[in-house]
Amino acid sequence: MNFVDPVSGATYPIDTPRWRSDSGGYLNLAQGAGLKRADIDTNCHSVWRYAKAIAVDVRHAVTMGEGGTPLLGGEWQGTSIRFKLEFMMPTGSFKDRGMTVMVSYLKSRGINEVLEDSSGNAGASLSAYAAAAGMRCRILVPETASYPKIAQIAACGADVFTIRGTRQDVADTAMRMSSEIFYASHNWVPFFAEGTKTLAYELWEQLGFKAPDNVVVPLGYGSNVAGCERGFGELLRNGEITRMPRIFGVQAANCAPYFNAYQAGVDHLIPTTITPTIAEGIASSKPTRVVEALKAVRDSGGGIVAVSEDEIVAALGTLARKGFYVESTSAAAAAGLTQLLASGAIKPNESTVLVLTGTGLKASEKIGELLKLQAREI
């Protein structure tokens, strides 16, 4: 297994941790062997039950029991779907899937101090897994990050710094600091997507070893899109499924670089007007793996949609009234599904999974404001 620069074709041994190529581009992992049904470790109840398919020795696993999140049947806009509750992870978001694998890899290669930039959830996840691994941790967050997320990060012992400006300004600051501390970015280190691909394996297993017709995910930097493409791709090559599911990414219209590139039919970013969005988890103006994510969506026969702030708020309230208390980023995906059903892109007779990526417990004050919630006096 090697790191691969998808542009130049240069390869680098994974024995030496790195987060980008010599030319400054992002790296992928070489194609994995995947696994077959008989390879699942049924005695393990975390993502490491799929250890045969993960490019890290399970003996080095830093785990907190992540994975195994519920897949619940229900309805959305009158259509039967399944809700994948990724917010029911140890730190409250899907980021734990990628973080257990990335931290396990880095720790096994002698990295003892890590740096990450985050809108909150990735930082909370890395700080927890770094603590479990006995690693020092520094997290940079935008000044708009919610206090509960900052508190969660700091409580695990990480050094937290707020950065003025946009989400991209936070990432740029982290990159400048990378000369003094290893940049364990979930957007750059490909072992993170090696972890998020277990979402595909888990859906396959939960659906009776079949792939769904459609998977709908929030789309910011693209780690869930990349993970689904990698995981389902391995299953397809191993003959465990007969077709890829269609992958649909949902962006906030206020910050939609992927959507604009998709609509323009190009495989690169184009000039995009960026304004603040309540879906802070997908407020990524300059995503890293643009070519890869766009290709994954297009090759699957899926698509990318953009939703307004009002659509996000409406979906947030509808999800809550179904018992799903999630953050606005998850609600964006649900709002996108509303569009996809209305347009006929997703049909009622298809098997569709809506991935809810983050808990609302870290954003209760904001959710209360958006939904105008208050107690009444008796």
**pLDDT tens track for 145-158:** 888 889 999 999 99
> Rounded to an integer, what is the distance from CA 174 to the centroid of its chain?
19
Paired with 28 in beta bridges are: 4
Alpha helices in the chain (DSSP H): 95-108, 121-133, 147-155, 167-177, 191-196, 198-206, 223-237, 257-264, 290-300, 309-321, 328-343, 364-371
CB distance 287 to 221 below 8 Å: yes
Give CA–CA dist 225/220, Å, rounded: 10
For residues 97-110, average pLDDT: 97
* pLDDT above 90 (res 127): yes
Give CA–CA dist 298/174, Å, rounded: 31
Equal fold, 71-94+192-370 vs 95-183: yes
Topology given in CATH for the domain delimited by 71-94+192-370: Rossmann fold (3.40.50)
pLDDT value at residue 5:
94
Q: What is the pLDDT of residues 204-254, one digit of tens each?
A: 999 999 999 999 999 999 999 999 999 999 999 999 999 999 999 999 999
Joined tokens for residue 364: 């209760």
- CATH number attached to the domain at 95-183: 3.40.50.1100
Confidence of residue 255 (pLDDT cuts 50, 70, 90): very high
Give CA–CA dist 298/295, Å, rounded: 5
67: left (phi over 0), alpha (psi -120 to 50) or beta: left
pLDDT value at residue 168:
82
Backbone angles phi, psi at 64, to 5 degrees: -125, 30
DSSP single-letter state for residue 2: E
- DSSP-derived 3-state class of residue 57: coil
361-365, Cβ contacts within 8 angstroms, sequence gap of 24 or more: 361/92, 361/148, 361/325, 362/92, 362/120, 362/121, 362/124, 362/146, 362/148, 362/149, 362/152, 362/327, 363/146, 363/148, 363/149, 363/327, 363/328, 364/148, 365/146
214: left (phi over 0), alpha (psi -120 to 50) or beta: beta
How, if at all, do strands 352-356 and 214-218 pair?
Answer: parallel
Domain regions of the chain by residue span? 71-94+192-370, 95-183
pLDDT value at residue 43:
97
How, if at all, do strands 113-117 and 182-183 pair?
Answer: parallel
pLDDT value at residue 323:
97
pLDDT value at residue 356:
98
Q: How far is residue 9 from each of residues 5, 26, 207, measured CA to CA in Å? A: 5, 11, 36
Sign for the pseudo-dihedral over CA of 125, 127, 128, 134 = positive
Confidence of residue 164 (pLDDT cuts 50, 70, 90): very high
* pLDDT above 80 (res 49): yes
Edge to edge, what strands does the sheet with 246-252 contain? 71-76, 79-85, 352-356, 214-218, 246-252, 303-307
pTM (two decimals): 0.95
Give CA–CA dist 88/76, Å, rounded: 20
* pLDDT above 90 (res 279): yes
